[in-house]
Amino acid sequence: MLGHIESITVYIPEQRKSLAEVAPALNLSPLDVRMFSRFYGLANFPRQPGSLNDLLRPLLKQFTENHAHCISRIKHVVHAHTLPCIRPFDLHGKALLDEAGFSDDTHYMSLTMGHCSTSLSAVDYVCRRLNAGEYALLLVGEKAFHPKVELIDDTTIMGEAACAVLLSRSGERCRVTARYSMQAGEFSQHRGNATEEESRFASVYISFIVTAMRNALGHFGHTASSLAWIAPHNVNLSSWQRLADELNITRQKIFLENVPRYGHCFGADPYLNLATLIRQKKLSPETNVMMVSVGMGATFSSLLLGLSDGNEIPVFCNLEQFPDIKQD
């Protein structure tokens, strides 16, 4: 066992843009808009003016207000992000921790090379560095600050949201039982823009994930039928529906309700989906949940969670109602 998820704190900007509103800046044609809406299921995207710090600062404020009892025991803070560079080189995230009242000796670092899947791989990395009684905080979130970042051609559109995940090595809540990752290094130059390499990756994307999912289930000692839910990255509806069919998994087992609500919020998606499942009280006692994400490069990463009491992870969110957009 790797560790435990003790809580999830979610910050989702109240400001939203619709697909129609983001289309002009992304040079999407009317045909593109119909494709992203009808086939990919994308509709709304959280957007907040300002910098990355303006996204993470209210997240940390919310986290510290609800976790004053354990701030002094947080020994590591890891920011898992998709883009290799998320700030000007002369700035760093440690200043935010100082503002929020973390100890001077809190070790701060970032992880990125798995891109959107880094937020899952990071759990294994950081839990191995904890002693009994210590905590780590995993920060996930970044800005869609440029059209080249905001749009992955013919695939998805990015939203902005952030999560703070409290981890322990020897806690009592949700067990992080195991991790499985798989890479296809031949796509290491993939950037999400229309090039020959991107087209080649698109042609093997489904088969790559199908193989990785089967390997992960074998590594975990589970079958699809023994999982209650799969909490994936929110790339789009059609990809996951096709993957469900290829893997002979019931489509309803893959939690996709947040795709039209928030778009693809970088590495935060699996945690947003897990938090939503908990808020909607969809996890029964003795539930197994598989978290899955795929990052450009290409890296597949997954975690197996065991929840003895079902909806046992405390979830904190800035929104008065979360999730805040009802889906039919």
Domain residue ranges in the chain: 3-168, 175-310
Maximum mean pLDDT: which of 102-111, 134-143, 318-327: 134-143
Identify the residue with better confidence: 326 or 106. Answer: 106
Domains 3-168 and 175-310 share a fold: yes
Q: Tell whether domain 175-310 is in CATH 3.40.47.10.
A: yes
For residue 325, pLDDT over 70 is answered with no
What confidence tier does 253 reach under pLDDT thresholds 50, 70, 90?
A: very high
Question: Can you read off the two tokens belonging to residue 159?
Answer: 């939203």
Q: Give yes or no for a contact between 59 and 141, defined as CB atoms under 8 angstroms apart.
A: yes
Identify the residue with better confidence: 170 or 324. Answer: 170
**Whole-structure pTM value:** 0.95
Residue 172 contacts by C-beta under 8 Å, 6 or more apart in sequence? 4
Q: Give yes or no for a contact between 271 and 8, defined as CB atoms under 8 angstroms apart.
A: yes
Alpha carbon distances (Å) from 171 to 28, 142, 166: 47, 28, 11
Q: What is the pLDDT of residue 262?
A: 97
Question: Can you read off the two tokens belonging to residue 15?
Answer: 């400001």
* Region of poorest pLDDT, from 76-85, 108-117, 190-199, 226-235: 190-199
Q: What is the pLDDT of residue 91?
A: 66
**Quick one: fold of 3-168?**
Peroxisomal Thiolase; Chain A, domain 1 (3.40.47)
Half-sphere exposure of 166 (CA within 13 A, CB side): 30
